[in-house]
Amino acid sequence: MAKSVKFADETLIDDARHESEIQSRSLAGQITHWARLGRAIERSGSFDYAKLSRVLAGELNTTVLTAEEKAVWSERFLAKMSEAGPDEDAFFANMRKSGGAVGLDPSGRIVHTDGQAGE
């Protein structure tokens, strides 16, 4: 019996759509496939969420993870690294304001800030 499920994560849906084309599955088939894989990993006994959470929090080294846990850690780590940290915007605003920032203009040339407002 088919059931409808709403996903708030558009990236997951986009990734599933892309992978479904590669694997010749429907979108629902791809998501079902991923769900079954996740269930199998959780049931395998070699996946420890508590340990994974401690590694993500920086309390343990990644060397304690199994291959399955490392795969999940890697995905979550990359997702977190792509998000700005709480102080990152303020840091870069201060760099631009102080004149200590460099970057590339639209044509790829290196530009330096001069510390003037409005840069």
Residue among 89, 114, 90 at smallest CA distance from 101: 114
Cα distances (Å, whole numbers) of residue 41 to 19, 36, 66: 20, 9, 11
pLDDT at 115 over 80: no
pLDDT band at 116 (very low <50, low <70, confident <90, very high): low
| The pLDDT value given to residue 14 | 93
pTM over 0.85: no
Residue among 64, 61, 32 at smallest CA distance from 46: 64
Query: Per-residue pLDDT tens for 4-14?
Result: 888 888 899 99
